Amino acid sequence: MSVHSSANIKRITTHILQEMKNRGEKISMLTAYDFSMAKIVDDAGIDIILVGDSASNVMAGHETTLPITLDQMIYHASSVVRAVSRAFVVVDIPFGSYQGNSSEALRSAIRIMKESGAHAIKVEGGAEIKESVVRILSAGVPVMGHLGLTPQSIYKFGTYSVRAKESVEAQKLLEDAKLLEECGCFAIVLEKIPASLAKKVAESVSIPVIGIGAGGNVDGQVLVVHDLLGITQEFKPRFLRQYADLQSVMMDAFTNYIKDVKSRDFPNESESY
């Protein structure tokens, strides 16, 4: 099997993602929140782009993902969708727009799909949001689940440390994953849980399981693009592999520009009309 066997596919769909799991081809997923970044990520051949509510942290500078609004997520998502021609685009439903009220959940999901043109939505949680998941799925909207460390519940957890290390929480997570599959979710993200538990989940459900801090024995991996690129230098969890040091590259470019402006070196004659 080639590691690039989905490379010739024109447009990734839920069906193709399922086929990738079935044949053991790993699924690649990254976040993006704007047109320019999404275009590069898509051109690179990523399978899924997640318009994550991590936009609340990396784009807006909030401490948590809780403040971002549905309108703001739709703005980010529509910018991404305009850039993408191959990847499957998934959008996080933000905190407060789906929990506890399935009618509101459906309205929020429909707004995301209609106003952004995205292909699916992602929700955080298991049994406690079942009604919302079922209602959204009944409208024909593909749903990706998210279990383990679910940042929208940070004030319940009180910490961003590894989840489901104890057997009671691990058992609930496994049951939640099976429930999400039964409801009809097309994939599940597992965040920051023991690799052995993530492996068990990926073997126990037939839908793709995408990990972040969940080890290598799952069906795919996701990272926040700013972390991978080394733009956010202050966030360095163990699970992060940083593929570039863009903060240094950008800092050099900006300081050189400032120097050239101050010294009147920029613009020169060939840069003027």
Enumerate binding residues for ligand KIV (CB under 6 A).
Answer: 31, 50, 52-54, 92, 146, 189, 191, 212, 222, 224
Residue (37 or 268) nearer to ligand KIV, CB: 37
Smallest gap from Cβ 55 to ligand KIV, in A, equals 7
User: Beta-carbon neighbour count of residue 100 at 10 Å?
Assistant: 11
Angle, to 10 degrees, between the axis of helix 195-204 and the axis of helix 167-183? 30
User: From CA 177, how far away is CA 187, in angstroms rounded?
Assistant: 9
**Helix/strand/coil percent split, the chain, to 5:** 45, 15, 40
Smallest gap from Cβ 264 to ligand KIV, in A, equals 43
Catalytic residue among 25, 124, 181, 191: 191
Smallest gap from Cβ 189 to ligand KIV, in A, equals 5
Task: Decide if 191 is catalytic.
Answer: yes
Smallest gap from Cβ 31 to ligand KIV, in A, equals 5
Smallest gap from Cβ 100 to ligand KIV, in A, equals 20
Angle, to 10 degrees, between the axis of helix 130-138 and the axis of helix 102-116? 40
Measure Cα distances from 127 to 31, 37, 54, 124, 203 in Å. 26, 35, 23, 10, 20
Residue (14 or 257) nearer to ligand KIV, CB: 14
Q: What token pair was written down for 123?
A: 């929700």
User: From CA 88, how far away is CA 73, in angstroms rounded?
Assistant: 17
User: From CA 182, how far away is CA 191, in angstroms rounded?
Assistant: 20
User: From CA 112, how far away is CA 92, in angstroms rounded?
Assistant: 9
Residue (12 or 90) nearer to ligand KIV, CB: 90
CB nearest ligand KIV: which residue?
Answer: 52
User: Beta-carbon neighbour count of residue 263 at 10 Å?
Assistant: 8
Residues taking part in catalysis? 191
